[in-house]
Amino acid sequence: MDKIKIKIIKLGKQSHEYLFKRLEKYNSKIFKCEIYKMNRPKCDYEWGYKFETLEKLLSEKSEKNKFDMCIGFVDTVIEKNYFGKRLDKDNNIYVISFYEIDCILKDKHIDLFNYMITTMYRYITRYKLQITGNDLVHDETRGCIFDMCGDKRDVVYFCQKPIICDECRNKINNHVHSEKYMIMLDRELASIKPILFDRIINFIKSHSKISLVIGIISTIILDLISSKIYDVFFNHK
């Protein structure tokens, strides 16, 4: 399967520039991308942009003769306070916003890159299988990459360990050429996990009693090791 070619456009200065450096190094068998930047235009929706404005901006820069998809990233609010949106009828121009999401995930100790890459897989799958409308999106929050997330706080569920729920999987299997793609998608989604430090923090919060016992045992063991080292190297009486 040929990799999907994606043009990534950073709309204006990005507060999370490091994410794009990580994206450049990200290894996927499904897609490859090139990253570009354009100046941020005048806002027309609060401090952000309407869908129509974003569609026009990204369509003009999409280079459809060179790329299969175009995904724009913004730090600002977008219309209806969505976290992302398909912008065109051809199913290949999208926008993803970090607005509020960065704070929501920071509070939950979840890597913002998980949000970036998982949302990209959400839109890549729509493009690859030419899924239009809301055929896959569902209101119920399941940790599936196609969760509606009408409440932005629900993105935490698909950003921790993203899955394709059974309902969406059944719908996807009805599409031609989906089998090989789904094998690769499952493999790449499985690699998206919280970073080690965040996993430790979340474990401590979820298992406070066990963490306390582990902490006490670790302290005792370290004390014994320290005493032994002192006796061997420093106590020569």
- Upper half-sphere CA count for residue 148 (Cβ side, 13 Å): 9
Determine the pLDDT at residue 110: 93
Residues whose CB falls within 8 Å of the CB of residue 175, separated by 6 or more in sequence, listed in order: 129, 130, 131
Q: Are 210 and 202 in contact (CB under 8 A)?
A: no
Structure tokens at 44: 């027309």
**What's the DSSP call for residue 139?**
S
- Per-block mean pLDDT, blocks of 10 residues, the chain (237 long): 95 94 96 95 92 95 96 96 94 96 94 97 94 86 95 94 94 85 95 62 53 64 65 58
Structural domain spans, the chain: 4-198, 207-233
Cα(22)–Cα(19) distance, rounded to whole angstroms? Answer: 5
Q: What CATH architecture does domain 4-198 belong to?
A: 3-Layer(aba) Sandwich (3.40)
Q: Which of 106, 101, 103, 133 is nearest to 116 (CA)?
A: 101
